[in-house]
Amino acid sequence: MNAETKLRPGKRHRDQIIRMGGPIGAVAQLSQHSERKGAVLDVGVNRGTVALHLCRLFCDLPVHLIEPIPAQCDYVLERFSRFPTVKVHQMALSHETGQSDFHIADYLGNSSLFTNNDEAAAKHTEHATVETITVETSRLDDWCAAQGIDHIACMKLDTQGSEFNILTGAKTLLSRHAIDIIMLEWFSLPHYDGVPLLEDILTLMRSHGYVLYNIYPSRKLKTGVLRYGDAVFISETFHKTRLTGKEAT
């Protein structure tokens, strides 16, 4: 039997992930306070490394893996084929429902709905586009309604610049605090053309009553200027009803 099929929720697995630190460690810490309702989303699943941790932390909930690149989807479908709670969707989330160009990079993990042709992005990027394909896109509000999902216990976004647009397309969910925990990647310098930056995400999340739980700078320029990193947000409702008076750090 594949070792991955033996994963079960439990304190040992959670503590192992907490000790890893960083954003996934924070998600593990927060998961022990979850109401265990709704679904879990990994958007921009790539090869599924974070998805495996989410399966350990939330394997008593449906886990949806969303990835637009066909080859990556095929790999993830095979890797998670024995997980009965996991469902894979070949598509992209954005601020509009329809279709869009998707730019596949020489390093697949840097592929994006955004281009990186302009000088400002070219100064900071580390990849080149090798192919552009057409992908189906959906607003998160629309997609969740179609899937019958009214609550998200945890959502991870690693979509190479589309994080802000995805959150913009989740106005209904965010306005009623229907997403408890959000782990996302951010840029503080433009690595893609016209990409929203960290300050845009912070403003958007605060406007919906979300708390910045922690922030994790990752890479810097040689001058020391911050380039990008990760952050974890929680809804004010989750903060007040699940964390107040409890150990959460």
Distance CA 47, CA 52 (A): 10
Q: Is the per-residue pLDDT at 249 higher than 50? A: no
Predicted pLDDT of residue 221: 82
Q: Is the per-residue pLDDT at 212 higher than 60? A: yes
Neighbours of 163 (CB within 10 A): 26
Q: How confident is the model at residue 248 (pLDDT cuts 50, 70, 90)?
A: very low
pTM of the predicted model over 0.85:
yes
CA neighbor of 233 nearest in space, from 162, 182, 194, 187: 182
φ, ψ dihedrals at 52, nearest 5°: -65, -40
Neighbours of 114 (CB within 10 A): 22
List, for residues 8-53, the tens digit of each pLDDT value: 567 888 999 999 999 999 999 999 999 999 999 999 999 999 999 9
Predicted pLDDT of residue 122: 67
Predicted pLDDT of residue 9: 63
Is beta strand 92-93 parallel, antiparallel or unpaired with respect to 210-220? unpaired
Neighbours of 223 (CB within 10 A): 5
- Of 162-171, 188-197, 231-240, which gets the smallest average pLDDT? 188-197
CA neighbor of 231 nearest in space, from 247, 210, 248: 210
List, for residues 78-136, the tens digit of each pLDDT value: 999 989 999 999 999 999 999 999 999 998 989 999 998 887 766 777 778 899 999 99
Q: Residues 213, 205: contact at Cβ < 8 Å?
A: no
CB-based burial label for 72 (10 Å; 0-12, 13-18, 19+):
buried
Q: How confident is the model at residue 244 (pLDDT cuts 50, 70, 90)?
A: confident
Predicted pLDDT of residue 233: 98
